[in-house]
Chains A and B, each alone.
Chain A
Amino acid sequence: DAGITQSPRYKITETGRQVTLMCHQTWSHSYMFWYRQDLGHGLRLIYYSAAADITDKGEVPDGYVVSRSKTENFPLTLESATRSQTSVYFCASSATRPSYEQYFGPGTRLTVT
């Protein structure tokens, strides 16, 4: 199906474990983004990518790693999960600049115990 998908939709993990959240888009959009959404903070940008092999930090990158070897995929890895990383994570994409609209995936709800 066309669009932007995230997997898994729900994940429970333990403190210290490595977790990878997947994001896949079928539009060949240049830009991809990872956000976390927490009550009282809205959406905060973790990392973004302007194209394959080009990534940059956002507002809250500590504890996260990204890669983008292919245009359509943008995985987010928590190298050693902490309880403060319990959140809902959204992936988004947008077309080549200038573009105003970001298309969001359905989100991954991550709980770190």
Chain B
Amino acid sequence: TQLLEQSPQFLSIQEGENLTVYCNSSSVFSSLQWYRQEPGEGPVLLVTVVTGGEVKKLKRLTFQFGDARKDSSLHITAAQPGDTGLYLCAGDNSGGATNKLIFGTGTLLAVQP
């Protein structure tokens, strides 16, 4: 059973378009993170959200944590080819008791120039 479902699984868009990636669960998470992974490399952390309703911005990327802390979204404005990669959400549903994370299945984004 996958606790974190991401949608869409694949997304191919043109440079300059906007997009949103969703990360949903029926479980409550004490924190949720977004990672980006490029081919041949390990995931790299983009952001961590910990408070329900929290919104964080990282240049053209906007991250939101749902009020109930069960879901999150990543919105990219004016996508660029450099945004291409696999986006993974990951959450801690242990209440901070461990450092273990549960990862979503990922969204593969391709931005065409």
**Chain A interface (Cβ < 8 Å from any Cβ of B):** 31, 33, 35, 40-45, 48, 50, 58, 90, 92, 94, 97-107
Cβ < 8 Å to A, chain B residues 13-32: 31
Binary flags per residue of B65-101, CB closer than 8 Å to A gives 1, else 0? 0000000000000000000000010101000111111
Q: Is the interface of B mostly helix, strand, loop or mixed?
A: loop
Evaluate contact between B101 and A102: CB separation under 8 angstroms. yes
Residues in A whose Cβ lies below 8 Å from that of B113 = none
**Chain B interface (Cβ < 8 Å from any Cβ of A):** 2, 31, 33, 40-45, 48, 50, 88, 90, 92, 96-101, 103-106
A-B contact list, 9 entries, CB within 8 Å: A31-B99, A42-B103, A42-B106, A44-B103, A100-B50, A100-B92, A101-B33, A104-B42, A106-B40
Q: Which residue of A lies closest to B92 (CB)?
A: A100
Evaluate contact between A97 and B96: CB separation under 8 angstroms. yes
